[in-house]
Chains A and B, each alone.
Chain A
Amino acid sequence: MATETAASRQTTQRAAAVLNGEVTLTVALAGQPNVGKSTVFNLLTGLSQHVGNWPGKTVEQKTGTYRFNGTTIHLVDLPGTYSLTANSAEEVIARDYIIKERPNVVVVVVNAASLERNLYLVAEILPLPTQVVVGLNMVDVAAGEGMNVEPQVLEAALGVPVVPMVASKNQGVRELVVAVDRLARREIPYTPNIPEIRDDHRQVLDEIHALVADCVPNPYPSEWIALKLLEGDDEVTAMMREDCLPDQRWDQVHEILMAHEDAVLSVASGRYDWVGRMIRAAVTRPRPGQITLTERLDRWATHPVWGLAILAAILAVVFWLTFTIGQPLQDLLDTYVVGNLSSAASTWLATAPAWLRGLIVDGAIAGAGTVLTFLPILVIFFAVLALLEDLGYMARAAYVMDRFMHLMGLHGKSFMPLFLGFGCNVPAVMGSRIIDSQRARLLTILLAPLVPCAARMTVIVFITPIFFGRAATLVAWALIAATLVVLAVVGVLINKWVLKGERAAFIMELPLYHRPNARTIGIQVWQNSAEFLKKAGSLILIMSIIIWALSTLPHGDIETSYLASVGKALEPLGNLMGLSWEMVVALLASFVAKENSIATMSILLGGSESAAGLDAALGSVLTPAAALAFLVVQMLFVPCVATVAAIRQETRSWRWTAFSVGLLLALSLTGGVLTYQIVSAL
């Protein structure tokens, strides 16, 4: 990068002005926002400040004076900037001021607690034609965070004066001024360790420098201009192309730049290598206990094999908890709330028209009421997920699952949206927007409905105990595992045929594990439960009434109803899976919302009975093999209408929407028939 020697630099810097025997220095204050730069400025200038705007800009300019030891320091507060890469007006002002006005000294105020980011700015200022003093501010904050920053070591490594400070307590500010004064008077050595471009592009930099050196306008340093051209700096590029270089010379420069479009990486890498060396030399970070705990836990939680085993075990515990605590609560709710409500409504409506009694008792209460009894199960489910999320585990779950998906040859970039599908398939489909590749997006959208959403899980949780007793947890767990295997196989096949094995790359921050906050979990459980209640009170209630109406009209007899006609037309298909027409209709109703299948069963099989009655009714119309087939179909079936709408919206294609529906229909029916036939034969 800049190869000027310290001696040659001295000649490029502005000499301190001497007027009537008094020395006047111009000192610029640079630094990132919120590092205490303004505090230093205010402490030094006090009431002598002048506030205006930078010429031609709306950015505030603050200047002031400070007298010290026979020296008048003219202080200029540069705008806070993260770098000098011309990304913003502030960055252009800061670098233009240093290059064009050439202050005697630039004080770079850095945050000792965030040195990595702050030193990058120092790395960019050091090659400019000025002298630098580093004000190492907030050393108290760094110490409080357990960091040990050694100013003398940093000073030796940087080759420029480093002054430790706590500006907010006016500590070290006077020492900073002394260092500035002595440096300007050349009483202390100045041998800056300037970052170098990486070797792989040094020759390219030299070539560009040779082409532009004699055309660089004063006061820009030619080496800096060459470096900025290599970095692709828009402002410098425009200046050199339009105002400085002859066309033929620009063409030569442009050709080199085009051949090395990633040279910016070498330039920035040189700076990061330099920052890394400074940090390794001057900073030590004792490892706090929390990090050690996180690392210790992550050795297991993110392990390729154990991590998956832990995830599977956690899933099993979630179901066990749901069955052990949620199921009895659901029964209580069913008996004492829905059952009593149903009886009370029947009594109150004893003299009302039969259709009104049917609508309220057999439609609204039997349908939406039964779905409402899921609330305890969902509360437990939401609470456990919120707990895992707040604990910091969910990111690990995503991490190990992604590695697993890569083993299966799936596109890793699809993982995050698919993972959202465990809550609801709609955000899974909509989340596919994050994927650049059109084909990978499509694959994700096609796979999203195969992720078992919370609504499908409630159906599993409701049905498995009726048929599988103590093995319910195992069956529920196996159903989810099997669905994920189907998802993986479909993904592998599509990936192989459509994406040709393309492999995406991710970087994921795994947050520290921390003690869960009861309030955070409570809020999340409340929000999700409130949404469920809203849905039960609106969409599911309306659907329950429609299903009841269709099961009653036109003659008031379920066997001759419109719904029975549709169900019976499809019964031959249902028979292959051991399903009666009522169960086929329940499956169709789940297209509106998955919970509707339970509401429909309750209306068609349970009548005015409560969920307990539905248990018995289901037991009489389904064999365990048929129940398993029903659950398999439910898991793989066409998603709810909201998800299908999202698929249409995201693919913008009816053809792909139809393909998705067709694929899921084929998968679910094949899965259901195979399950029933195989299990029945056993």
Chain B
Amino acid sequence: MLKDLLQLVAEGGIHSYEDLTRRLSISQPLLEAMLEDLARLGYLRPVNEGCEEHCSACPIGRCSVASPGHLWSLTEKGARAATRQE
């Protein structure tokens, strides 16, 4: 299941939770648990953590754009793992 998820993500581009739950036939809470686990293992990386810290240094204060939900990116380790099994 985790490998399937990594392979889907490694196709490149941006995937929404809806894309992934539909293609893996799993529920969103299960997907979320898997994403957190893959991040803990170093295959994914949470991207928008620490945004507030960055914004505190911004001269215009809080940005008026973009506060999406969770965002993850595939790490090099994740990309390697996905390719290895192809």
Contacts and interface: CB of A to CB of B under 8 A. Distances in A.
Contacts of A285: 27
B59 A426 contact: yes
A173 interface: no
A262 B55 CA distance: 36
A527 B61 contact: yes
B17 A504 contact: no
Given A382-B64, A416-B47, A509 B14 contact: no
Query: Size band of the A side of the interface?
Result: 35 or more
Interface string B1-17: 11110100111111111
B3 A528 contact: no
B58 A427 contact: yes
A272 B66 contact: no
A264 B41 contact: yes
A431 B54 contact: yes
Nearest to B72: A507
A262 B42 CA distance: 11
A145 to B, nearest CB: 11
Contacts of B47: 416, 434, 506
Contact of A505 (B10, B63, B85): B10
Contacts of B66: 389, 394-395, 397-398, 416, 419-420
A505 B12 contact: yes
Interface in A417-456: 419-420, 422-424, 426-427, 430-431, 433-434, 436, 454
A516 to B, nearest CB: 13
Interface string A630-647: 000000000000100000
Interface string B32-48: 11110100110111011
A295 interface: yes
Given A116-B27, A507-B72, A394 B65 contact: yes
B29 A424 contact: no
Given A265-B3, A503-B12, A524 B69 contact: no
A343 B29 CA distance: 65
A508 B12 contact: no
A198 B85 CA distance: 13
A592 B57 CA distance: 18
A116 B30 contact: yes
Contact of A116 (B33, B61, B71): B33
A398 B59 contact: no
Main secondary structure of the interface of B (DSSP, over half): mixed
Contact of A509 (B26, B30, B71): B71
B56 to A, nearest CB: 10
Interface stretch (A161-169, A399-407, A548-556): A399-407
Interface in A454-469: 454
Interface string A374-409: 000000011001100100001101110011001000
B74 to A, nearest CB: 4
A506 B34 contact: no
Main secondary structure of the interface of A (DSSP, over half): helix
A529 to B, nearest CB: 10
A430 B58 CA distance: 9
A427 B33 contact: no
Given A269-B2, A431-B54, A434-B47, A509 B69 contact: yes
A395 B67 CA distance: 7
Interface string A242-264: 00000000000000000000101
A427 B29 CA distance: 32
A126 to B, nearest CB: 17
23 contacts: A116-B33, A117-B29, A120-B33, A264-B41, A266-B3, A269-B2, A283-B27, A382-B64, A395-B66, A423-B65, A427-B58, A434-B73, A436-B73, A454-B64, A505-B73, A505-B79, A506-B9, A506-B13, A508-B17, A508-B69, A509-B71, A527-B61, A527-B62
Interface of A: 87, 114-117, 120, 198, 200, 262, 264-266, 268-269, 272-273, 275-276, 279, 283, 285, 295, 298, 302, 381-382, 385-386, 389, 394-395, 397-399, 402-403, 406, 412-413, 415-416, 419-420, 422-424, 426-427, 430-431, 433-434, 436, 454, 503-511, 524, 527-528, 531-532, 535, 642
Interface of B: 1-4, 6, 9-18, 20, 26-27, 29-30, 32-35, 37, 40-41, 43-45, 47-48, 51, 54-55, 57-76, 79, 81, 84-85
